[in-house]
Structure 1
Amino acid sequence: MARIGILILAAGASTRLGQPKQLLFYQGKPLIRQMAEVAIASNCQPVGVVLGAHAEAIKPHLSNLDIHIFYNENWSRGMASSIQCGLREMLRVSVELDAIVLMVCDQPFVSPDLIHKLIAGYRDLNYPIVASEYAGILGVPALFHKTFFPELLTLQGDVGAKSIIRQHHSHSLSIPFNQGIIDLDTPQDLQFLS
């Protein structure tokens, strides 16, 4: 069986929202814990969470979970630094990692079922990149085979994995995830949590 890990990117400062989005309550718990529990329920191992801004406030909400917490000292440089930090640490935790699923902490409607569909596209249909499709774009959650790890490790600035998906569009499978368009960036977005 291929060893597939999950990396949750949760290091941002949530400046547009005005409060740490990781700690917004959803289904009776902080969003970051909800996302970690979804990752665990997918049965992928290992599960890693990258923290940065507000790490001390967030970390207690991840206690007693079978996950690895990584701290990105360079979180203010953007998403790419969190992908690099998290992927390097995941490869230390599990040198035999065959693929990784990248998630962000502010897509509240990600489910274990969606993650299973990404994995099925990889295992059953042999696609090296399997991405979620919403609003006409391919994005996260997305699975990347280890052949793309070097590219993920060279991303710069506030560039996420979407750029790699775009570059390798012909090798990418899309999984419909209409609710993926809902992420929590501004106070107006909070209506989707109610």
Structure 2
Amino acid sequence: MKVGAVVLAAGGSSRLGRPKQLLVHEGRTLVRRAAEAAVAAGCEPVVVVLGAHGEAVAAELAGLPVRTVENPEWREGMGRSLRVGVRALPEVEAVLVLLCDQLRVGSAHVRALMDTFARTGSPIVASGYDGARGVPALFSRALRPELEALEADQGARKVIVRDASRVVEVPLPGGSEDVDTAADLSRLST
């Protein structure tokens, strides 16, 4: 089964005041951690969507078997980055959507999503945390048009919540803990 990954790393990190993609956690930048998790789990290809701070973020991916793509409309919202990333993937069985600021996501969780998809054949395998379903999530190739049709300000969760009957959940303890401020990184690093 061929699963391609889209790592969303185009945002401007306005709440943080500096590029969150370049924050270091456990010796690696957040963008590198996310890309490495996808690669180590067996996703191929892995596409990293760049926007704000594109050159610096791309430099953090040196040596990894990933492809970077630019989203010139990154200021418009995550939906535009998702569209750019999905369109950059060739035909694959499924698309994994991954953020770079979820510190509790590693290759084991990504692999669990892939294994659940292979075992169940469900159109969507989403991470479950805090009573909700969200990313990282895996979408069958049949749902690519839905991902590409998202409005600029919408993320993949919009596709996940559209029809609960087509979603299987894989628990992700701490999945809602993301990095939006320096205090978040400090708190989550302990």
Partner of 1:193: 189
Structure 2 residue identity aligned to 1:18: G
Contact 2:104 2:173 in 1 (8 A): no
- Over aligned residues, Cα RMSD in angstroms? 1.0
Deviation, 1:98, is: 1.3
Deviation, 1:187, is: 2.7
TM-score (norm 1): 0.94
Match for residue 100 of structure 2 among 93, 100, 105: 105
Partner of 1:158: 153
Give the Cα separation in 1 of the matches to 2:181 and 2:63. 30
In the alignment, is residue 33 of structure 1 matched against residue 16 of structure 2? no
Give the Cα separation in 2 of the matches to 1:99 and 1:168. 18
Partner of 2:55: 56
Structure 1 residue identity aligned to 2:49: V
Match for residue 176 of structure 2 among 174, 178, 181: 181
3-state SS of 2:16 partner: coil
Give the Cα separation in 2 of the matches to 1:6 and 1:193. 26
For 1:152-174, what per-residue CA distance to the aligned partner results, in whole angstroms no more than 9, with x for missing partners? 01101221010111002111001
Give the Cα separation in 1 of the matches to 2:48 and 2:30. 13
Structure 2 residue identity aligned to 1:193: S
Query: Residues 6-155 of structure 1 correspond to what in structure 2 (within 5 A)?
Result: 6-90=5-89, 94=90, 96-155=91-150
Unaligned runs of 5+ in 1: none
Give the Cα separation in 2 of the matches to 1:162 and 1:174. 13
Deviation, 1:132, is: 0.2
Q: 4+ residue stretches of structure 1 with deviation over 3 A?
A: none
Structure 2 residue identity aligned to 1:136: G
Structure 1 residue identity aligned to 2:38: A
Deviation, 1:57, is: 1.6
Give the Cα separation in 2 of the matches to 1:153 and 1:24. 29
TM-score (norm 2): 0.96
Deviation, 1:193, is: 2.4
3-state SS of 1:13 partner: coil
> Which piece of structure 1 moves more, 180-189 or 47-56?
180-189
